[in-house]
């Protein structure tokens, strides 16, 4: 068993639960406090991975979003006994930016309700980087593909619709693209970032855009769904996420979407009994 102690906060969530299983399989001393456990302010935590947060429901729960992304974090930084802290943020913060390197200047607008998420994540990032504590890190996660309890990303929403009706309707054009990263690559890279002496911001992404058309083809062939596209479907194309830093620092080599997506779909079918 590894001597390193790693505390995962948010271990009941999607990323946190996969992280916990990965760390336990690797033999780490894995501490998994439950929500509301006040011992995180008094016990020795080792290396902390802060996976607390809201995703799809942040618009309906703005106060809970800020509590999770900022308020709990600042209490932990102020009182916690930890060796390092890795804060899980999101590549959503690059919305509207021409540059997706970790040093990029970002855009937010408090008049846009959708920017509450980005503003809260960036506040959390800034606290970590400038509060004066050592060994603080930020991991900006892309769209992570893996089994999750709630369908809170695009692919899972398509799968839920397809399993329910036998068909899926793409409401964005097939030429639209996003960055997707497999959960196994995600937790492996997060572990290496956590235990590394390096600090700062890291993009945890594939660096490669995947078109809706590729997703549609696999859903049709692997799942048997009837696939259509809405007549007024707009095209969006996010700037490719820059992963040169994690490739240089950690020799990161993510699996291609075409290689892991059929494997994920098989796991999804087994989980759902499809």
Under a CB-based contact definition with an 8 Å cutoff, are residues 147 and 267 in contact? yes
Please write the tens of the pLDDT for every residue from 40-65. Answer: 999 999 999 999 998 878 888 999 99
- Spatial CB neighbours of 23, under 8 Å, sequence gap ≥ 6: 6, 8, 30, 187, 191
Please write the tens of the pLDDT for every residue from 206-218. Answer: 999 999 999 999 9
Which letter does DSSP use for residue 70 in this model? I
Q: Is the pTM of this model over 0.85?
A: yes
Please write the tens of the pLDDT for every residue from 183-201. Answer: 999 999 999 999 999 999 9
Distance CA 19, CA 10 (A): 10
List the CATH number of the domain containing 88.
3.40.50.720
Nearest C-alpha neighbor of 45 from the set 1, 87, 88, 6? 6
Helix or strand holding residue 19 (H, E): helix 14-25
Strand partners, 39: none
Under a CB-based contact definition with an 8 Å cutoff, are residues 219 and 261 in contact? no
Tell me which residue range forms the domain holding 98.
5-272
pLDDT score recorded for residue 2: 65
Share the mean pLDDT of the chain.
94
pLDDT at 1 over 60: no
Q: How many domains does the chain have?
A: 1
Under a CB-based contact definition with an 8 Å cutoff, are residues 50 and 88 in contact? yes
Higher per-residue pLDDT: 236 or 224? 224
């Amino acid at each position: 068993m590894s001597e390193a102690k790693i505390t995962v906060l948010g271990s009941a969530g999607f990323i946190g639960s996969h992280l916990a299983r990965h760390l336990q399989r690797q033999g780490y001393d894995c501490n998994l406090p439950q929500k509301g456990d006040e011992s995180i302010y008094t016990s020795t935590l080792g290396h902390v991975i802060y996976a607390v947060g809201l995703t799809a429901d942040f618009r309906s729960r703005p106060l809970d979003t800020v509590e999770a992304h900022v308020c709990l974090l600042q209490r932990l930084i102020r009182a916690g006994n930890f060796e390092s802290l890795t804060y899980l943020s999101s590549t959503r913060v690059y919305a509207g930016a021409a540059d997706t390197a970790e040093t990029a200047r970002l855009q937010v607008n408090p008049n846009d309700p959708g920017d509450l998420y980005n503003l809260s994540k960036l506040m959390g990032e800034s606290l970590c980087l400038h509060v004066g504590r050592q060994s603080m890190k930020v991991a900006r996660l892309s769209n992570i593909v893996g089994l999750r309890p709630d369908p809170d990303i695009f692919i899972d929403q398509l799968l839920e619709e397809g399993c329910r009706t036998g068909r899926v309707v793409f409401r964005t054009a097939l030429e639209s693209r996003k960055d997707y990263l497999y959960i196994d690559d995600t937790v492996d890279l997060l572990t290496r970032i956590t235990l590394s002496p390096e600090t700062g911001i890291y993009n945890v992404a594939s660096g490669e855009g995947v078109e809706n058309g590729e997703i549609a083809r696999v859903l049709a062939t692997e799942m048997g769904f009837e696939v259509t596209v809405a007549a007024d479907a707009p095209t969006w194309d996010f700037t490719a996420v820059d992963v040169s830093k994690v490739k240089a620092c950690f020799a990161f080599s993510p699996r291609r979407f075409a290689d892991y997506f059929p494997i994920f779909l098989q796991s999804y079918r087994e989980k759902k009994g499809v």
